[in-house]
Structure 1
Amino acid sequence: MTSLRTLWAIGLGMIAASGASAQTLYFSAIPDEDETALVERFSRVADYLEAQLGVDVEYVPVKDYPAAVTAFRNDQVQLAWFGGLTGVQARLLAPGSRAIAQGKEDMAFVTYFIAHESTGLEESAEFPKAARGMTFTFGARTSTSGRLMPDHFIRQEIGEAPDAFFADVGFSGDHSQTLRLVASGAYQVGALNFAVYDQAVADNAPEVETTRIIWKTPSYPDYNWTIRGDVDARWGEGFSDRVQAALLGMTDPDLLAAFPREGFVPATNEDYAPIEEVARQLDLLE
């Protein structure tokens, strides 16, 4: 059976070889969860957009967060579901690009700090200073909710870098893996997207049996749909607005549950100025 990673390589290779087709709108998304789930989830989104826009739409999976930004910069995809940080990175690398929609939840997103039950840590409104000296994992290195903002809030709350506060700091690669690592005890504490953890609770996932939420960060803007600035020249005047309208008009509960979001609302580049500011403070932008 052909692996998803192989499909990703073949797909991007074909697009790179032929140039972005004027007939097909390619889009991608940061791989914040397992690859299999992402392909199923976004293939259905492609079908929806195709029906709404009247053009061929194809989802292109990518192997990691930087690959999503690179594909957008190189015009291998023209539309992407980014996190706050990857969206900022992509728009800086592809001038004229703009954020056009965000989930209703993304206007005030939060990160959960979770701990293995053996730590004895309990949920508190205060930052868990009793976690000093424990092992800790972020998600992907350029994840907004899995690295950028938890890193920022750790420094803000204790005045120290994460690797000075914790005994060992790792990067799991995605939110699902962060949950698995903390649930297994491989790391005592971790930071992840609140929606991923809430969905695990709703699904009665076994990982929630050995983990608990110990702290919720202040809110910040996060995920967004970003589109390249040259799409109108290729698909016709007003095409980017039509894409935005299609996203805002997505009401199918099955499609929305895949994100998971209640719905989408308009977004602008200015909404993510706080993310760009924090990213510059942490030297995460080129």
Structure 2
Amino acid sequence: MLGRFSAFLVGGALALSASSGLVALRGAAAQEAAKPPEAAKPPFVFTGIPDQDESRLVERFGKVATYLEGKLGVPVRYIPVKNYPAAVTAFSNGQVQLAWFGGFTGVQARRAVPGSQAIAQGAEDAAFKTYFIAHAGTGLTKGPDFPKEIAGKTFSFGSRASTSGRLMPEYFVRQAFAGRTPEAVFSRVGFSGDHSRTIQLVQSGAFEVGAVDYSVWDLDTKAGKVDAKAVSVIWESPTFPDYQWTVRGDVDRTYGPGFTERLRAALVGIADPAILEPFGRSRFIPVTNAAYEPLIEVGKSTGLLD
């Protein structure tokens, strides 16, 4: 009898222990569920200056967004903008955290947002070039010296804020014509808005001469968009620093310590030709704000930068 009673006590104790353990587990689970969830990181948003036709931009930046999302572990979105100043504005007001800027727009954006950094550029951007192009009807041909015969002709820049399509071409024009402005040198001056458009305007004869980003010229030529019988390169400029990825200085606070360096490493680590080719770049390399100091001096000398 005593044995059965002892067994009962032992069994009851075991049952009670199991029951208590279950209650404890449920309580712990309830406490865990009651904890406020860690705040999700907001999407990392970037943009790029619209320097060529929209279909190429969507292809280019869509691939970058997918790649960065896989490397950074946060949602990444690309948003298009209508023009160069809109890219600077989106960066300045925090609508985007990263942007693919031209040299001059990058300078403008970093001046507007203290602490922002140029972190990567194309290998080709350290020594970039402008092409001066001319309609076949002008009779102008390619030579090593600045083509002073363009004086008196109609001339198209790209965007007003473009480095290779406006800032540097205007600088070279002023150098060649004793400081005279483009408006004083040419019979008519236009601004196409982007490099692909400049090519088409000169090719059609709407403008006799224009200034374009050499990489866009090469891309459009490969794509069959350039009629060599109608338009050709007549001069290659001296080199200058141009495009770069610039990031806001507050991203580490939002996405965690070291995020900027992880982003730089991800961009420099791009090796997929499917991503690089739409940029007309062989690879991306590290860069700092100091590389663009020459553009500040040019901007001031031409009156395009205060």
TM-score for both structures, normalised by structure 1: 0.91
Q: CA deviation at 1:259?
A: 0.5
- Aligned mate of 2:266, from 246, 253, 256: 246
Aligned to 1:246, the other structure's residue is in SS state helix
State how far apart, in whole Å, the 2-side matches of 1:255 and 1:281 are.
Answer: 36
Equivalent residue number for residue 186 of structure 1: 206
3-state SS, counterpart of residue 208 of structure 1: coil
Q: Whole-Å Cα distance in 2 between the matches of residues 37 and 218 of structure 1?
A: 27
Asked if 1:65 corresponds to 2:84, the answer is yes
Distance 1:268 1:206 in 2: 35
Counterparts of 1:97-136 in structure 2, within 5 Å, are: 97-136=116-155
CA contact (8 A) 2:199 2:226 kept: no
What's the offset of the Cα at 1:233? 0.7
Match of 2:277 among 245, 257, 260: 257
**Contact 1:26/1:59 (<8 A) preserved:** yes
| In 2, Cα distance between equivalents of 1:235 and 1:73 | 18
Larger mean Cα displacement after TM superposition, 121-130 or 202-211:
202-211
Q: Does 1:266 align with 2:275?
A: no
Structure 1 moving runs of 4+ over 4 Å: none
Question: Which residue does the alignment assign to 1:17?
Answer: none
Q: Could you tell me how far 1:277 is from its partner in structure 2?
A: 1.1
Q: How does 1:200-239 map to 2 (within 5 A)?
A: 200-239=220-259
Greater Rg over alpha carbons, structure = 2
1:82-139 CA-partner distances (Å, limit 9, x unpaired): 0000000000001000000000000000000000001000001111111111100000
Following the alignment from structure 1 to structure 2, what is the Cα–Cα distance between the partners of residues 209 and 34? 22
Q: Deviations over 1:149-201 (max 9, x none)?
A: 00001111221211111111110000000000000000000000001111222
Alignment of 1:138-153 (within 5 A): 138-153=157-172
Q: Which residue of 1 aligns with 2:17?
A: none
Q: Which residue of 2 aligns with 1:90?
A: 109
| Shift of residue 246, structure 1, vs aligned partner | 0.3
2:217 corresponds to 1:197: yes
Residue deviations 1:230-251, cap 9 Å, x none? 0001111110000000000000
Contact 1:200 1:208 in 2 (8 A): no
| Per-residue deviation, 1:41 | 1.6
Residue from 96, 101, 118 that aligns with 1:77: 96
C-alpha separation in 1, matches of 2:225 and 2:294: 34
**In the alignment, residue 270 of structure 2 is paired with which amino acid?**
M
Partners of 2:226 and 2:277 in 1: CA distance = 20
Tell me the matched-pair count: 266
Superposition TM-score, scaled by structure 2 size? 0.85
Query: What is the SS of the residue equivalent to 1:226?
Result: strand
Could you say what secondary structure the match of 1:237 adopts?
coil
Identity percentage over the alignment? 55
SS in 2 for 1:285: coil
2:137 aligned with 1:137, yes or no?
no
- Segments of 5+ residues of structure 1 without an aligned counterpart are 1-20
Partners of 1:116 and 1:185 within 8 A in 2: yes
Runs of 5+ consecutive residues of structure 2 not aligned to the other structure: 1-39
Please report the RMSD computed on the Cα atoms of aligned residues, expressed in angstroms. 1.1
Contact conserved, 1:183 with 1:207, CA < 8 A, in 2? yes
Inter-partner Cα distance in structure 2 for 1:222 and 1:94: 19
2: CA distance between counterparts of 1:206 and 1:266? 33
Inter-partner Cα distance in structure 1 for 2:128 and 2:269: 21
